[in-house]
Amino acid sequence: MTGHFRLSAVCAFALLLGCGETDVILPGERFDIRPQQNIVNQSAPIALPDQVANASWTHRNGNASHQISHPALSSTPQQLFATSIGEGDSLRARITADPVVSNGVIYTLDALASVTATSLSGARLWSVNLTPGSDGALDASGGGVAVAGGRVFVTTGFGEVVMLDAASGGEIWTQDLDAPGVSAPTVFGDLAYIVGRDGTGWALEADSGRIRWQLTATPALGVFAGGAGVAADSNIAIFPFPSGEVIATFPEGGLQRWSTVVSGARSGSAAATISDIAGDPVIRGNDVYIGSFAGQIVKLDVSNGDRIWTAQEGAISPVWPVGNAVFALNDLNELVRLNDSDGTPVWKVQLPGLLEAGFFGGSNEVVAHYGPVLAGGRLIVASSDGLIRQFDPVSGALVGSIPIEGGAATNPVVAGQTLYVVSKTGQLHAFR
C-alpha cells in the first residue's frame, strides 16, 4: 500500500506540473545569441604566381617554412589509385599525419604508428610499425612525418621521435621525449624541431637524435592530437605551443628572439576556451602568419614579432598566403579570404557542418575539413564527408568537386602534379 501511495503521489505531482500555466511568448524581434558579422562577399582580383611543378612535399604545407606558393595541378584531376597505408580512424585512434613526398616516394603514418612508403604507381615499398615493445597498439595515437636528406623523421603518440632510412625503412635512431604526444617534426639544416603537448620544445641533432637544446612554455589543459609544428629557416625557428604562446629562437643554441601570445575568444563559442594553436606558423619573406583555434589569425614581423594585424578568425590548419590574399579554414567551418594588407575579410564560404541526414533522421557527426591548398589555380579543401572541393580564389565560388571514398582524414598535398589525400579508412588516394 505504501508503494502504491508513493506512486500515486508522484503521478499526481506530474499531472499537476503538466496543468501549470503555459509559457508566455513575449512579443518583439528575436536576435541570434551569436551575432554574425555583416560580410559582403567580393570578387577581388588576385595576383597569383605562376604554377610550379614541384617534385617534393617534405613537411606539412610543403616545406620547413610551411609555405609553397602555387603547385601545378590539372583543373580536372582523375583518380590514379587508392591503396592501404594501414589502420584508419576508430573510436580510440586517429590519423593525424599528412603525407609527405620525396624522390618519387610517398610516406604516410596510419592511426596505429605504422609508417608506409608507397611508390608513385601505388605499390607498397616497405612498412614498419613504431609501437614500443612495452606498449599496446591502442595505447596512443597521432604523430607526424617529415622527410629530408634521404631520411624519414616520425613523431608518434608514444612521445618518441624515430628516424628511418627512406629507402629501406630501417631504424637509425629513436629519441624518447617523455611527452604526452608531439607535433609533426620540422627538419632544417642539422636540426629536427619538435613541440610536445606538455608545453616543451626540442631541437634534436638530425644525425644522432641527441637533444641540442630545449624550450619550456606554459602547459595547457585542452590540446589537439598532433598539434601545430615548428616553422624554420636558416635564421629562425618559430615554436607554437598549446597554451597559445609562440616563441621564436635562433637555431643555434635556442636563444630567444621574441615571443607573443595568439589567443582569441570568439563570442558565444565554447571552443574558444581551447588555447591550442592549430594553424602552424607560415613564414613568407619578412612575415609570419599564425592561427589559433580560439578565433584569431595574426600576421607578425618575423624579425621581431611585432604584430602587423589581427583577424578575428580562427584557423584549424596552416593558412595559405599568396599574392595579396591569405586563405584559411576558420573555426566556424568557413573557407575565408583575408586581405594580406590588413587582415580584413574579402569573402567567406560556409562549408558543411554536419553530415547529411540518413534514412533514420539527422546526423550529429561534425564534418572535418582540411586545407586549403592553392594548386592549379584553385583552392582545394578535402573533407570527411567524402568530397574534395575546389574553389575559385577570386570569388570563393565552388567550381568543382572530386569524390574520395571514406572521407578525408588529412590535408591535401600536391607533388609531381599529383594530389594526395589519406582517407579515414586508411587509404592513400592519388589524383592527377
The one-digit pLDDT tens for each residue of the chain (432 residues) are 444 433 444 344 333 334 445 556 666 655 444 444 556 688 899 999 999 999 999 999 999 999 999 999 999 999 999 999 999 999 889 999 999 999 999 999 999 999 999 999 999 999 999 999 888 888 888 899 999 999 999 999 999 999 999 999 999 999 999 887 779 999 999 999 999 988 899 999 999 999 999 999 887 766 666 689 999 999 999 999 988 999 999 999 999 999 999 986 665 555 556 668 889 999 999 999 999 988 899 999 999 999 999 999 999 999 999 999 999 999 899 999 999 999 999 999 999 988 765 554 555 688 999 999 999 999 999 999 999 999 999 999 999 999 999 999 999 999 999 999 999 999 999 999
Whole-number Å distance between alpha carbons of 264 and 283: 21
For 144, half-sphere exposure in the C-beta direction (CA atoms, 13 angstrom radius) is 27
Amino acid letter for position 309:
W
Q: Starting at the earlier edge strand, list the strands of the sheet with 325-329.
A: 320-322, 325-329, 334-339, 345-350
DSSP secondary structure letters along 124-163: EEEEEE---TTS-TTS---EEEEEETTEEEEEETTSEEEE
pLDDT of residue 222: 61
pLDDT of residue 293: 84
pLDDT of residue 268: 52
pLDDT of residue 347: 97
- pTM for this entry: 0.88
Answer left, alpha or beta for residue 333, where phi above 0 means left and psi between -120 and 50 means alpha.
left
Full 3-state SS string of 187-242:
EECCEEEEEECCCEEEEEECCCCCEEEEEECCCCCCCCCCCCCCEECCCCEEEECC
Residue carrying the nine cell digits 564560404: 349
Domains and CATH numbers, the chain: 62-431 (2.130.10.10)
pLDDT of residue 38: 54
